[in-house]
Amino acid sequence: MNPDQVLINIAEKIASCNKCDLHHSREKGVPGEGPSNAEIIFIGEGPGFHENMQGRPFVGAAGDFLVELLDGIGLKREDVFITNVVKCRPPGNRDPAPEELKTCSPYLDQQLQVINPKVIVTLGRFSMARFFPHAKISEIHGQPVQVKGMLVVPFYHPAAALHRPSLRSVVEEDFASLPELIKNAEKTPAVQSKDPPEEENQAEQLRLF
């Protein structure tokens, strides 16, 4: 099956998913969007109000800022894949619960498997924690780490800079470093395994891709 079709199939599963309680309050599942051969994937936290209504990631204020940051480094949102660790909106924009993160995780595993990006940029602490469960974002943001053949770069969430203006220049500097990181990152070999990984440690899981 071609990669575009695999992504469509994943999106269809998300649209009708009822594996956790978030499906009760969601308007639309938000699988993510972008080319199946994207070199870079941005992973946010979860859909907010506008994303839930439109079924598209990062279309509210944080999305506008993300587009601005991408523009600053010569990228358009259509050039990259954008998704979240949870695909349905936590009510009232509360933090995703551990059980929701765990239940939703295979969808992201499968997207990563198909897209096989050069660089994974995590936006905010929830997507960072998927790869670095015990890290502090204030200590590791902007520092690329090779995780089982993929370059993972933890960034602050764009919304954090909207709430804390002092973070804006930090976020802009982190983004400014991306083109060089992308240029130097090696594309990992094509995926062999079709099964979503099941171990607890997400960094360990990526070995399978």
Among the listed residues 182, 177, 189, 110, the one whose alpha carbon sits nearest the alpha carbon of residue 148: 189
Q: Note the residues at the interface with ligand URA (CB under 6 A).
A: 44-48, 51, 57-58, 60, 62-63, 84, 159
Give min distance, CB of 40 to ligand URA, in A. Answer: 16
- Is the separation of the CB atoms in 31 and 10 below 8 Å? yes
From the CB of 126, what's the least distance to ligand URA, in Å? 8
CB of 43 to ligand URA, least distance (A): 9
Closest residue (Cβ) to ligand URA?
44
d(CA 169, CA 27): 35
Tell me which residue of 77, 81, 91, 100 sits closest to 10, measured CA to CA: 81
Cβ contacts of 174 within 8 Å, gap of 6 or more = 141, 142, 153, 155, 156
- Output the smallest distance, CB 174 to ligand URA, in A: 16
Task: Indicate the residue among 117 and 158 with the shorter CB distance to ligand URA.
Answer: 158
Choice between 30 and 185, CB closer to ligand URA = 30
What's the min distance (Å) between Cβ of 30 and ligand URA? 6
At residue 58, what is the residue type?
F
What are the two backbone dihedrals, phi and then psi, of residue 92, each rounded to the nearest 5 degrees?
A: 65, 15
Q: Which is nearer to ligand URA, 77 or 185 (CB)?
A: 77
Q: For residues 107 and 10, is the Cβ–Cβ distance under 8 A?
A: yes
**31 vs 208, which CB is nearer to ligand URA?**
31
Angle at which helix 61-72 crosses helix 168-176, to 10 degrees, equals 40
- Decide whether 159 or 185 has the Cβ nearer to ligand URA: 159
